[in-house]
Chain A
Amino acid sequence: MKKPDVKVVILGDMNVGKTSLLHRYTERKFRDTVSTVGGAFYLKQWGPYNISIWDTAGREQFHGLGSMYCRGAAAVILTYDVTNWQSLAELEERFLSLTDTANHDCIYAIVGNKADLSDPRAQLPVAPDDQGEEPRTEPQVPSACPTPPASPVSPVSPGSLPKQVGRDEAAALYARVLRYKGLDEKSSLPADRMCFETSARTGYNVDALFETLFDLVLPSILRKRNENQRSPTVDLEDYREPTGKRRGCC
């Protein structure tokens, strides 16, 4: 099995479209997804590097696993639904603390998905495909956490929903994330680079999101590689963790 060089984690409330985002990026299509159980990951070949992208479960039930997924992450994608203000609030209330286990130099992206529902610009499919025409119905989990009122339950025509979260609110959240992490706003990446509005259904901005992040985590990969090279032990066992990484817990 290929060893991932770096880890990217997608966090966010249930039903904001984390799996769809990843699916749009990896399969170039939008299709109905079922509620993610536990988590899933995808290995992306980015140049000579392997990047593992973890798609986490948004359901409250699996909330406890989040910090494990985030451990050692080089980038975290905090995802909300632009038509659902609560989903942004949840990021700060529930998900931000999960990132405590991420790398100290982890980079954060704030991503507002489902932009096609409120923004006519996001409705143009990037790559036309038949899936895009299907009504968007993300199956709800009946018993799980409170359903956001604005979240689409039945087929919605594009552009019909009011936008509940503006770009400025996302940028404000980004600033609060930096503050929470104790990072200086000036030396960190600027909010306008790290806040995205995407649409997994039309593909709007999805490639830009992932590719921007991959380019930004490259230094992290290189540093990790160097650390591994410094290790004097030769790992004959393929599945053994490189010793350089051990420092995290000891």
Chain B
Amino acid sequence: MSVKAFELVPAVERDLLMGDKARINVECIECCGKHLYIGTNDCFIHHFLLEEVPSQKGRIKYSAQKLQQKYLGLKKPVTELRAASALERLIVLCDGVLFLVDMATLETVPSATGSGGAKIKGVTSFCMNGNPVNTDPFCVEIAVISSRRRTVQVYTVFEDRVQLVKEVTTAEQPSVVSLDGYFLCLALSSQYMILNYTTGASQDLFPYNSEERRPIVKRIGREEFLLAAPGGLGMFANAEGVSQRAPVNWSESVIGAAVCFPYVVALDQDFISIHSMLDQQLKQSLAFRDGHILQDFEGKVVLASTKAVYVLVPLPLEQQIQDLLSGDRVEEALVLTEGAQLNIPRDRFQILHRRILQQAGFIQFGQLQFQEAQEYFRKGELDARELISLYPLLLPPTSSFTRCHPPLHPFADLNHLAQGDLEKVLRCKRFLISYLGSVRGTEASRAAREEVDTALLKLYAEQDHESLLDLLASDNTCLLADSAPWLEKHSKYFALGLLYRCNGHDSAALQLWIRVVDGELQDSTRPDLYEYIVDFLTFCPNLDLVWRYSDWALKRDPKVGVQIFTKRSSGKDQSGQPKLDDVITYLEKHSHARLLYLEHLVLERHIKKEKFHSLLAVLYLEQVLFLLESSPPPAPDQLSHARDKLQALLRESNLYRVQLLLGKIEGCDQLLLERATLHGKLEDHGKALDILVHQLHDYSSAEAYCLWASSSQGPACRQQLLHLLLDLYLGGGAGEKRGDLEMAAVDLLNRHGEQFDAVRVLSVLPEGWSLQLLKPFLGRAVRTSVHASRTSRLALGLSRAENLQLLHDRLKERRKPILVSEKRGCHLCHNTFSCPDVVCLPGAIPVHTHCIAHRLSDSAPNTHADSTPSKHTDSTPNKHSTQNSNHT
């Protein structure tokens, strides 16, 4: 209840109609445009001009002007009146006779001659077809209940005559009729029915005792009727006899009913009751005494008591909806809005519907019903700025947004809404976060992208929300000028840096972060911010920035800082990368970082550049020398570690400048091993081995040297080096050293027996050595020799077999004839042969000589092997082809 959907407005007052004559009553009314016709019980028709007069507050008033009145001369009440405006006729039922009068003059229309006339006698009730089947606009269709028993007639009414179309009989006496297309909807004495007057097909609707209670049959739309049902119901039924809407609950004594979408208006003796067709609820009830007639004419609902006429004016839909909304009746307002969809133009409906949804959303929002609010906002495609603007300071000052007018909600801002309740404010903020998160990136929020992102950023920063970084890391449109102070206020310096980056201010971002790392600013978002900066510089394509800020990074931690250079992409595209030489120069000041960088270049990226190798070797050497000279002496493993690195580089690399290093190392007696390696690099093996054997007395190193120095050269070189070493062992030294050397010689022989030239060894060995001593060497030597002999014999045998096989193939090829004719094609060029000179490919395939010549010259010299088969055929096939040409 308590929706104000209609207003009862007086149209024709008693005075105007009948003055002070007490016995005159209104019997029937008809309204056609501005013309109102009233039939009275004293057989008059009154004609009024009814005009809408807008009065204050947008209300409508009616002013009625009496045009004329006409006595029909029958002394009986005028039972029914219907206007046929296209014909300019009123159809009048009076005293059981139906006839036509002129709408303007109210003169009775005389019957046209010889056409059955313009009168129908014996009529108890009639109705017009609301959905005519006749396409002629200058006629109307009516259905008539005849006073003859159980008969309904359908007529076509013309300007001056009526014509019977069909007469049907019914099982019981009909009392009320309504017509839509071919469908008659009838109230019989005990039930309602639908009758198709062309096919005669009928459909019982439901029982109703028409004698007990007045039946109502009201056409409310295409093939749909509203019927009074038992128990005071208003039932809907369509032409198929199906009810598609739930019934409404009237009182038992309903006199008349009409539909004014979305309402059903019903009149009983004391009240006008208004039900919604959408939810079947009673929405409004108006007291109305002596109610007599309720009819709708072209959407206008007109009522009459016995003495006066009123118009039931619907309030504008928007106003009804707003009334509901202001009572927080969101559901009903939406039902009403959506119910009106068919009655208002599509685009207007959409605007209205959206607005109502938005308002509904704000009502739910005001009650902190966030889930419902979000759903309404989503459906209503709310401009997110409307919501953002509720929260103080969230909207950027540069935003051009102004709130919708008239306002969607009564709230000034969040503080007004929450009344100082901080818990509420917090909940609203959380809701806004989730709401903005959901609309962000949708089409609807495209226009407000900047505002949405900026508001989200501010909320995240304020609430210490983890998504702050996600927002900044993704594509965003946060406004820098507005956001930066906010982030500073909440000490979100890391985030601020990210924001700078998003806006292309990488340098500002770096400066800010550096201040955080240096402790000038406090922000604990990232404890590993230093590593983050290094990482950032590593992948920063802007070399200026790299040069500018790497210094700081290297100073702080050279080991990590050098990653800026070492971890940079070493892919093919070096265009955006700093030049290696520039980096080395840049790193001059940071010796440790430079060493690490060189190691990266030489050892990891294997860059083959003399400069880097030499520099690295020199640096290694300097380090070793520094350690050797430092006092107190460093831990032994530190030194050995440094030496290991130096030695490894000296051994592995072939690019450094040996002489340079040799020059630096010359004076140092502690680095003999390195010196030997350097000599080895110069292929000065004698000197190297001499150092190892005679100065260092390190025989295992000497042996390892032989293996290392010859590793890339093959067995002959190794043999030579081993012999060199053996000679050194056998030839040099005196005294105690001699024994050691001899032992080393024996060990060398026994370990590498197979590598030596045994004959040469035997010739240089001292006579006195026992066989037992050299047994492992000899065993190995003999075995090697035998093995070599057998291997070569096997190879010989295999080669012979191969040769034999080839000979066999050649013989086979020679015996076979090769056919060449003018009809056969060359396999290479597919042309036929025109002369007997051909070349035969293996498999007896003849081809042109020029073709194969072409082929061979085309294909690179490495295909020489292919040409061999053709050579031997050169001489032979000629013979055969000559024979062939004889045949043809």
Contacts and interface: CB of A to CB of B under 8 A. Distances in A.
Interface of A: 1, 4, 37-41, 54, 57, 59, 61-62, 64-65, 67-69, 71-72, 101, 237-241, 245-246, 248-250
A57 B246 CA distance: 11
Given A64-B206, A241-B223, A72 B242 contact: yes
A65 B229 contact: yes
A38 B246 contact: yes
Contacts of B341: 1
B230 A61 contact: yes
Interface string B165-208: 00000000000000000000000000100101001010111111
A159 to B, nearest CB: 35
Interface string B218-255: 00011110000111010101111111111111000000
Interface residues of B, number: 37
A71 B203 CA distance: 11
Contacts of A101: 241
A38 B233 CA distance: 7
A239 B240 CA distance: 14
B208 to A, nearest CB: 7
B606 to A, nearest CB: 65
Contacts of B222: 237, 239-240
Given A68-B205, A249-B201, A250-B199, A37 B240 contact: no
Nearest to B234: A38
B203 A249 contact: yes
B242 A68 contact: yes
Contacts of B247: 37-39, 65
A40 B206 contact: no
A131 B743 CA distance: 105
B221 A65 contact: no
Contacts of A37: 231, 233, 247, 249
Contacts of B223: 240-241
A40 B246 contact: yes
Nearest 6 interchain pairs by C-beta: A38-B247, A64-B207, A38-B233, A64-B206, A61-B231, A37-B249
Contact of A71 (B196, B229, B240, B245): B240
B566 interface: no
Interface in B312-366: 339, 341-342
A89 to B, nearest CB: 22
A38 B342 contact: no
Contacts of A64: 191, 206-208, 229-230
B339 A1 contact: yes
A59 B231 CA distance: 10
A59 B232 CA distance: 13
Nearest to A240: B222
Contacts of B238: 241
Contact of A246 (B206, B237, B240): B240
Interface of B: 191, 194, 196, 199, 201, 203-208, 221-224, 229-231, 233, 235, 237-249, 280, 339, 341-342
A40 B206 CA distance: 17
A38 B249 CA distance: 7
Nearest to A245: B240
A198 B219 CA distance: 41
Given A37-B231, A62-B233, 7 more contacts: A38-B231, A38-B235, A40-B246, A41-B245, A68-B237, A249-B194, A250-B201
A67 B201 contact: no
A40 B221 CA distance: 21
A65 B233 contact: yes
A249 B233 contact: no
Contacts of B196: 249-250
Contacts of B237: 68
Contacts of A65: 206, 229-230, 233, 235, 243, 247
Contacts of B248: 38
Given A65-B206, A67-B206, A240-B222, A38 B240 contact: no
Contact of A72 (B204, B224, B240): B240
Nearest to A4: B244
Contacts of A61: 230-231
Given A38-B246, A41-B246, A239-B222, A68 B206 contact: yes
A231 to B, nearest CB: 15
Given A39-B247, A62-B233, A64-B230, A238 B342 contact: yes
A250 B241 CA distance: 11
A162 B371 CA distance: 45
A40 B279 CA distance: 9
Q: Which of B239, B244, B248 has the most CB of A within 10 A?
A: B244
A185 to B, nearest CB: 30
Contacts of B280: 40
A71 B241 contact: yes
Contacts of A246: 240
A249 B223 CA distance: 13
A64 B192 CA distance: 11
A237 B342 CA distance: 10
Contacts of B207: 64
Given A67-B206, A249-B203, A241 B240 contact: yes
Nearest to A66: B206
B428 to A, nearest CB: 29
A101 B240 CA distance: 11
Contacts of B242: 68, 71-72
A61 B235 CA distance: 14
B249 A249 contact: no
B379 to A, nearest CB: 16
Among B207, B235, B239, which residue has the most Cβ atoms of chain A within 10 A? B235
Contacts of A62: 229-231, 233
A69 B196 CA distance: 21
Nearest to B205: A68
Contact of A68 (B201, B239, B243): B243
Contacts of B203: 249
A237 B224 CA distance: 14
B353 to A, nearest CB: 14
Instruction: Identify the interface centre among B243, B249, B280, B339: most chain A CB within 10 Å of its CB.
Output: B243
20 contacts: A37-B231, A39-B243, A40-B280, A41-B246, A54-B246, A61-B230, A62-B229, A62-B230, A64-B208, A65-B229, A65-B230, A65-B235, A67-B206, A68-B235, A68-B242, A71-B243, A72-B240, A237-B222, A239-B221, A241-B240
Which residue, B201, B221, B246, B339, has most C-beta atoms of chain A within 10 A? B246
A69 B231 contact: no
A238 B235 CA distance: 21
A64 B342 CA distance: 32
A25 B204 CA distance: 32
Nearest to A65: B206
A38 B199 contact: no
A68 B231 contact: no
